Amino acid sequence: MGDPLFSKGVGPTVVLIVLIKTLVVFVFLLVGVLFTIWMLRKVMADMQDRIGPNRAGPYGLLQSVADGIKLFFKEDLLPETADRRVFRLAPYLAAVPAFLTFAVVPIGGTVKLFGHRTILQLADPPVGILLVLALSSIAVYGVMLAGWASGSKYPLLGGVRVTAQMLSYEAAMGLATAAVVLSAGSLSTRVIVTEQANWRWNLWQLGIIPFAVFLLAAAAEMRHRPFDLVEADQELVAGFMTEYSSVRFALFYLAEFMGTITMSAVMITLFLGGPLGPDIGFLGGRVSPLWFFVKLVGFLFLFMWIRTTVPRFRYDQLMDLGWKRMIPLSLAWLLLIAAMRLGVDEGWNRFEVVAIAVAAGTVAAGALAAAMRVSAARREEQELEATV
């Protein structure tokens, strides 16, 4: 589809519009992080019968700003045994992908700005979903390098643990995303949203399974409860962030909450029709950003609700859920969707297609789960022999 802004070439006005859109997205994410932190504290306080922030500003709205100022003026520590260049680079590898991912999220329709028509989306590459998955993989490097470059065994072990967690759930997330791409027939996020018009949301068009898998995988990728083993009391201090302070620690903190906003926006795009929603009278299509923000706040509240009420997993339970449950389930569901789509295109009997696809998916998922169990059993035997 592309952005109509570039249909007549690139000029000074076009460059100015792109810069304005970039600045707006950046400011929105920064303000969104401050609001999300305040909202998290208030929601958790209400659910746990506490007061929450109420001193800095009205209703405690300036508490997040005060925390940011405090971190900015704290002493910036650099361990003697750290790899200085990598130690300084790692926070940016964690924070920048979260911002770039939001760039491909459509938040509205087409508007007119300075005489040019443009979409309410920073960029609409034809491979937008691949860009999302690639940036998610880059964020893993920030975590891994932060633990390795600190020059301490505790951050190193914490970084290895979190890296294994993120890679495990990235596979399930990719399979859930593949189901959406298969249904839409495109890798463009705007095309995926357009295909969900007239309430044909992928949430129920694909069944609940891909959405549920993506939701759990996103929570694990962002290291949220019940997968927040980085900050668990019984774990290794603060994990890969142990040696960080001041602005560099703030960048990891920023990346975590910015990732929550970004992943919520991606889920809205993939499964809930993005900015699509009912028109409101004379506003027409201009109300679409409103529906996007309503859905976004709803997802943020959902993550906060889960974070407040669900107990934390053990690490072995975390890995078992990812490799033995979610990956086989998402793979089987992807085969089912592919078979049904092929059957519709070829005019086959739907009931026979579903039956064959369910059988094939069950066999494939069972074989994958059995192979993983055998591998885990062998690993346990080897560990037991090494111990003896």
Q: Tell me: the pLDDT tens digits for 340-355?
A: 777 766 766 666 666 7
Percent of the chain with pLDDT over 90: 0
What's the pLDDT score for residue 292? 87
* Residue 251 reports pLDDT greater than 60: yes
Q: In this predicted model, which residue has the larger pLDDT, 150 or 388?
A: 150
How high is the pLDDT of residue 57?
Answer: 79
Contact 196, 185 (CB under 8 A): no
pLDDT over 70 at 285, yes or no: no
Find the helix packing angle between 288-309 and 12-47, rounded to 10°.
40
- With 70 as the cut, is the pLDDT of residue 357 above it? no
**pLDDT tens readout for residues 199-210:** 888 888 888 888
Which tops the pLDDT comparison, 384 or 257?
A: 257
pLDDT grade for 73, boundaries at 50, 70 and 90: confident
**pLDDT value at 236 more than 70:** no
**What local confidence, expressed as pLDDT, does residue 286 receive?**
64
Mean pLDDT of the 6-23 span = 81
Stretch 319-327: mean pLDDT: 82
List, for residues 166-178, the tens digit of each pLDDT value.
777 888 888 888 8
Residue 111's φ and ψ, nearest 5 degrees, are -130, 165
Query: Could you give the angle at the alpha carbon of 224 between the alpha carbons of 221 and 230, nearest 5°?
Result: 85
Percent of the chain with pLDDT over 70: 85
State the maximum Cα–Cα separation within the chain, in Å, rounded to a whole number: 76
Please name every residue paired with 111 in a beta bridge, in sequence order, or none if there are none. 118
How confident is the prediction for the chain on average, in pLDDT? 80
303-319 pLDDT per residue, tens: 888 888 888 887 778 88
